[in-house]
Structure 1
Amino acid sequence: MAADAPRSNFIRHIIDADLASGKHQQVHTRFPPEPNGFLHIGHAKSIVLNFGIAEDYQGTCNLRFDDTNPLKEKVDFVNSIQEDVRWLGYDWEGKPKYSSDYFDRLHGYAVELIEKGLAYADFSTQEKMREMRGTLKEPGVNSPYRDTSVAENLQIFADMTAGKYKDGEVCLRAKIDMASPFMVLRDPVIYRVRFVHHHQTGDKWCVYPMYDFTHCISDAIEGITHSLCTLEFQDNRRLYDWVLDNISIDCHPQQIEFSRLNLQYTVMSKRKLHLLVEEGKVSGWDDPRMPTIAGMRRRGYTPSSVREFCHRIGVTKMDNQVEMSMLEACIRDELNHQAPRAMAVIDPIKIVIENYPDGESETIAAPNHPNDESMGVRELPFSREIYIEAEDFREEANKKYKRLVLGKEVRLRNAYVIKAERCDKDAEGNVTTVYCTYDADTLGKDPADGRKVKGVIHWVAAATALPAEFRLYDRLFQVPNPGAEEDFFSTLNPQSLVVRHGYAEPSLQHIQVEQAYQFERIGYFCADSKDSSATALVFNQTVGLRDVWSEGDAN
């Protein structure tokens, strides 16, 4: 289980008051995802809130799948959701629950509403019902089927259930108030005909309840005390209460709304995430650029960093756009302290140290973390030929450039001071090899004659370097709020994934999936969980060493 310090918010104040007054003896929450896609960071906020509250108050949190629309649901999504919840550090008692567990009882409550004259069968087309519904400024118009007798409505609903009507031919509507200022109360549909195989109930049903009818009753059946949902369901609370007030059920949970998570430079709509996957704009739901929990996990985010982010943004009733840098800061702060160091070169050029004995090599001890001796040391092979980053060498440069320049010195991390003497270039004029000399008396120290070497660069020995692919990730979109764009595809960032081929130090040969490393002077990386192996290393960049977006250095 996750063990994070409780953070106060308005929901906890409500719960404290309910417990103090004796309204409830124990807190019972639920997390009710629809299995029609992978969970994203917005769902993580709800998971942390619902499971965290239950944990802190020694209560219970149910995992319940809202599986009322089998047309869009898959068992794969069910499995991924369970995996994500557990990965975040939470669990539930017994087996997961499903709204479909209650289909028989839900059907009975629909019959009860018909018997009370509070529900009726409607043969109007969807287009006609939209017209009759009215607008925010004008009341709706009663359906011509609204006054059908109870007996006839009962028979039609029975025939619907028996499969005697086609998809979309008829639906069951609650009879509330077509003049209500709240659109959700204008005789909403509560059941529809749908001939589709259900992943839990098979072909037992051809009528399925709507979310707003199902959700409140499922909460009540399970004895939920506080039903926490995002602000877009604020008006739906009136329907939530109406349904429970008009059926014979003892429990009446309290629905409480909080602001949803809107993260900049990405989209949080499942429909739009589906489009990204279906149109091949990303490699799948777990693409490391996606805001899905699976994508973030593959990229190298940790459960504790995601929980910390959810705590930092807090729980309020105010909608706002959260900066991506807040999320990145959580993982960067954690990995700075916990990630061991290693060296990798992602855009290599070769260095030949001409005065280093040909055919000889040595091992150099390097700390796995500069501030944590308990992490120990590793051995780095060193020999005549090494690789450095192409950007770490220039033929000429001003005094601000602290790396390798022809005729000048630089220190190799944990190793020697070298001096660039000359270089080779290819036909296009690109530097391919730099020839250097080294000072044999400078291993881990400045030269004995007192000259200071300010620049330090990383390297890997050519003879033992591991070929590797490095995937460098950036914002998926070029604008802060792509969801507001009519054509959100047009705002995709063409540089959201840049692939480089370079080399890693040999200590990374058998790196474990999800094990984070700081590649010195580059950023934090982890081995890709799908594509990386001991013979074909693939590293995903989790986050850079610093926040270049906030510093104004982004393209």
Structure 2
Amino acid sequence: MNKAEEKPSIEKSLNFIEHIIENDLKAGKNNGRVHTRFPPEPNGYLHIGHAKSICLNFGLAQKYNGKCNLRFDDTNPITEDTEYVESIEADVRWLGFQWDNKFYASDYFDQIYQYAVQLVKKGKAYVCDLTPEEISANRGTPTKAGIESPYRNRSIEENLDLLTRMKNGEFKDGEKVLRAKIDMASPNMHLRDPILYRIRHAHHHRTGDKWCIYPTYDFAHGYSDSIEGITHSICTLEFEVHRPLYDWLIEQVEIHHPQQIEFARLNLTYTLMSKRKLLELVQNKHVKGWDDPRMPTISGLRRRGYTPAAIRDFAERIGVAKRDGIIDVALLEFSIREDLNKNAPRAMAVLEPLKVVLTNFEENEVREFEAVINPEQENSGTRKVKMSKVIYIEREDFLENPDKNFFRLSPAQPVRLKHASTMIRLEKIVKNAEGAIEELHCQAIPEPEYQAGGNPKIKATIHWVGEKDSIEAEVRLYDRLFTVADLSEVEDYTQALNPDSLKVLKNCKLESNLSNAKVGDSFQFERKGYFCVDIDSTAKELVFNLTVSLKDSKGK
């Protein structure tokens, strides 16, 4: 086992979030409850970064016999869609988790509005007429205080009237906003009178046209957590600077106060982790949809052949950190390689076939051999592979003029056929008019007979498929979507797109044992890699996606 294939150790000690939870339990906080939530916005498909958050939130609930809610942050009707809601639910279930309750932020719109009224009555919020551009310009900088809005000192009565009229649809989009009244000189920019409500005359996928004002994420998030009785509100690190606002909003209305805890989000080499940019890839047709196997979306990984177990294993291996960093995507590939090595049946598949005629076979002669289905599983059983007069080998397994480091088939060098106890020795090369090799004529020699003849030692074993025992299939070879490891260093990520991220091979020869394979089934194509059956497969032709290579050649 080389260094690239060494098994990384999994840290078994408690992570810092588990330490917090265990200390809370010892102190009797929250009456000994642990209640987490996973709060995705339904404006796109989930990616591998969200998978880490899913595993963390649901995993903590499982570990401490608690609960985990699935809550959709549907506060922006312009970007949200039921398609995304359904895909998120499917992804969570596929990863092996089941929510205790399913909620939407929109379930709480009435209550959140009442909290807004309370803030106004306490003089902690006001209606502002500044444009978004003016609000932004007046916020100041981290080293320079902001400028107070001229509408900041409206009376409580005027603010209540204007807020009611906002809710009733009397104003246009952007004409007014509701802002918290905190501190325009705060060193934390998020406390400089942040916006709580915006006017948006847009149809909501759940509430229809009932509302024309919608709460911002910061305003709805903490209140939703509180209403649900969440004990530990786990967010990614970029929300650390939002935590003072989270706390302030809850303290002003004196309700249950969850603890917000931040952890480092997942960043992967060669991988985009922005839902907005992933949407751009889809819309601009750089990929063939959210579930394109090159995408880091959970649906893309699933289609490519990744398993829930592999993704959960990956999440456990990378752990939970307090500081941002970037994880090598090779570790994710290691996890799926480990899983499929244990569980994927073996098969032989020749992806770029070269025809070989066995000259000492009769026309209808067929020889059967036994091959193990999975050597990693003791009772996996065997399958039959059949050799006939015509077989196919990989074009790359033959060279007419090899160098000294080539040990596969060549004019002076026989080769062993995998599982067949048979050697083949070249007799003749057949070329077309352009000089390209069309087929090889070889003699097949049983291994005992070859050894008894005192022949030189065979240095290589290659895979093959017999013509009479084969099916044809399309095979899609996927490479990384980007050529740059750290995409944060690239000004235009589209310039880093890999032009060779997909190679489609037609008329591949596969052993007929695969003829009944179903969509989603995974196999190890011996000597080639791990592949799964794609949804584009038909009754006439199977389509296979490369999930991952047999070894981490990229790392080398």
Do they fold alike, i.e. is TM over 0.5?
A: yes
Q: Are residue 268 (structure 1) and residue 267 (structure 2) matched? A: no
**Where does 1:38-117 land on structure 2 (aligned, <5 Å)?**
38-94=45-101, 96-117=102-123
Q: Are residue 448 (structure 1) and residue 452 (structure 2) matched? A: yes
Q: Is the 8 A contact 2:472 2:509 kept in 1?
A: yes
Task: List per-residue Cα deviations over 1:140-188 (Å, max 9, x = no partner).
Answer: 0001111111111111111111111111111100011000000000000
C-alpha distance 420-117 of structure 1, shift in aligned 2 (>3 A): same
Tell me the equivalent position of 2:217: 211
Query: Which of 474, 483, 504 is matched with 1:478 structurally?
Result: 483
Tell me the equivalent position of 1:521: 527
Tell me the equivalent position of 1:223: 229
Query: Which of 368, 376, 380 is matched with 1:363 structurally?
Result: 368
The offset of 1:6, in angstroms, is 6.9
Query: Which of 411, 416, 422 is matched with 1:411 structurally?
Result: 416
Matches of 1:422 and 1:125 in 2, distance apart? Answer: 81
Matches of 1:429 and 1:192 in 2, distance apart? Answer: 71
Tell me the equivalent position of 1:326: 331
- One-letter amino acid matched to 1:188: P
Q: Is the 8 A contact 1:509 1:534 kept in 2?
A: no
Tell me the equivalent position of 2:3: none
RMSD: 1.5
**Where does 1:251-266 land on structure 2 (aligned, <5 Å)?**
251-266=256-271
TM-score by length of 1: 0.96
Tell me the equivalent position of 2:194: 188
Structure 2 unmatched runs, 5+: 1-9
- One-letter amino acid matched to 1:540: N
Task: List per-residue Cα deviations over 1:436-484 (Å, max 9, x = no partner).
Answer: 1111x338x8633343322111111123321111111111100012244
Matches of 1:45 and 1:535 in 2, distance apart? Answer: 38
The offset of 1:396, in angstroms, is 2.1
SS at match of 2:253: coil
Matches of 2:379 and 2:132 in 1, distance apart? Answer: 67
**Where does 1:415-454 land on structure 2 (aligned, <5 Å)?**
415=420, 416-439=422-445, 441-442=446-447, 447-451=451-455, 452-454=457-459
SS at match of 1:539: strand
Query: Which of 483, 493, 497 is matched with 1:492 structurally?
Result: 497
The offset of 1:372, in angstroms, is 3.0
The offset of 1:7, in angstroms, is 5.6
Matches of 1:368 and 1:203 in 2, distance apart? Answer: 58
Matches of 2:547 and 2:310 in 1, distance apart? Answer: 12
Aligned residues: 543
Matches of 1:379 and 1:5 in 2, distance apart? Answer: 42
Tell me the equivalent position of 1:462: 467
The offset of 1:426, in angstroms, is 3.0
Q: Are residue 352 (structure 1) and residue 357 (structure 2) matched? A: yes
Q: Is the 8 A contact 1:122 1:172 kept in 2?
A: yes
Matches of 2:454 and 2:301 in 1, distance apart? Answer: 48
C-alpha distance 521-159 of structure 1, shift in aligned 2 (>3 A): same
Greater alpha carbon shift after TM alignment, 370-379 vs 272-281: 370-379
SS at match of 1:375: coil
Q: Is the 8 A contact 1:7 1:311 kept in 2?
A: no
Tell me the equivalent position of 1:199: 205
